[in-house]
Amino acid sequence: MGKTKDIREAVDAELRFDPLVDETGITVANMGGDVALNGTVPSYPQYLEAAAAARRVSGVQNVHNHLEVVLPPDAYRDDPMLTTAANNALTWDITVPDGVEAIARDGNLTLTGAVRSGSERAAAKAAVAGLIGVRNIKDEIEIRRAADPIDVTLRVQEALDRYSLIPDDSDVTVDTDPGTGTVTLAGHVRTWAEHDAAVNATWMATGVMDVRDDLYITG
C-alpha cells in the first residue's frame, strides 16, 4: 500500500512540477506501477507532456493516458480551418515527405499517406501536434519500404550497442518478422529513458514497418 501511494504521490508531484502541464484537471491512479491518468487538459501538447511526466517517475512501468483534451473557447478552430493549418504545417516541414495529408473532424486530426520510415511518420505527427485546435491525432500513415529482416535486425542491434543509455550488459533482444516487417523488442530496461531510446532507435531503422514493445521496465 505504501509503495502504491508513493508512486501516485510522486506522479502528482511531477505533474505539479512540470511547467508545461496544468495538472488541476488530472487525477492519478496507480496499481503496481501501472499508472492511469484521468481527467482533462486544455491542449494536445499537454496531453502528451502529462504522460511523459508520469514516465519520468521511478517505479512507473506503464502509463495509460485516458486524458481528454477540452479546448478553451479561444483555442477552437473549425474543421476547414484546422485542416488547412495542418496541411500547411506538413508542407512547410522539410522532414515530412510529400504526400502526407491531414483532415480534421471536431478537432481530431487524421494523417494519411506513405513514408519510408518510422522517423518520417513521427515527424509528421510532431509537425501538427502543437497546432491550436488539435484535440487528438489518428495516425494512418503507411510505411512502404520493405527490407531484408536480417539487415533490419542487425541495424537495430548495432544502434542499441552505440547508445549510451543502453548498458553494455543489456539483455534487450531484437527480432524482425520477415512476413510483416515488425520488429519485436524484448528484455529488461531500467528506466523509461532506456525504453524510449530503444524504441526510438528501432523506428529510425529503414525497413521497420511496426514495432512490438515487449520490454519490461524494472525501475
* Residues sharing a CB contact under 8 Å with residue 19, sequence separation 6 or more, in sequence order: none
| Cα 190 → chain centroid | 19
Q: Exposure string (b/e) for 87-113, b if CB count within 10 Å is 16 or more?
A: bebbeeeeebbeebbbbbeebbbbbeb
Phi and psi (nearest 5°) for 7? Answer: -65, -45
Answer whether 165's CB lies under 8 Å from 157's CB: no
**pLDDT of 52:** 94
Q: In the chain, where are the structural domains located? A: 2-69, 73-143, 149-217
Residue 38, number of CB atoms within 10 A of its CB: 14
Cell digits of residue 167: 548498458
Topology match between the domains 73-143 and 149-217 = yes
Answer whether 183's CB lies under 8 Å from 172's CB: no
* Fold (CATH) for 73-143: Histidine-containing Protein; Chain: A; (3.30.1340)
**pLDDT of 107:** 96
Assigned CATH for 2-69: 3.30.1340.30
Cell digits of residue 138: 489518428
Strand pairing report for 34-41 and 68-69: parallel
**pLDDT of 164:** 81
**pLDDT of 210:** 85
Say how far apart CA 14 and CA 115 lie, in whole Å.
36
Per-residue confidence in pLDDT tens, the chain, 219 aa: 455 569 999 999 999 999 999 999 999 999 989 999 999 999 999 999 999 999 999 899 899 999 999 999 999 999 999 999 999 999 999 999 999 999 999 999 999 999 988 889 999 999 999 999 999 999 999 887 666 788 889 989 998 889 888 888 889 999 998 878 889 999 999 888 899 999 988 888 888 888 999 999 887
**pLDDT of 1:** 45
Q: CATH number for the 149-217 domain, one of 3.30.1340.30, 3.90.950.20, 3.30.9.10, 1.10.4160.10? A: 3.30.1340.30
Q: What is the DSSP string of the chain?
A: -HHHHHHHHHHHHHHHH-TT--GGGEEEEEETTEEEEEEEESSHHHHHHHHHHHHTSTT--EEEE--EE---GGG---HHHHHHHHHHHHHH-TTSPTT-EEEEETTEEEEESEESSHHHHHHHHHHHHTSTT--EEEE--EE-----HHHHHHHHHHHHHH-TTS-TT---EEEE-TTT-EEEEEEEESSHHHHHHHHHHHHHSTT--EEEEEEEE--
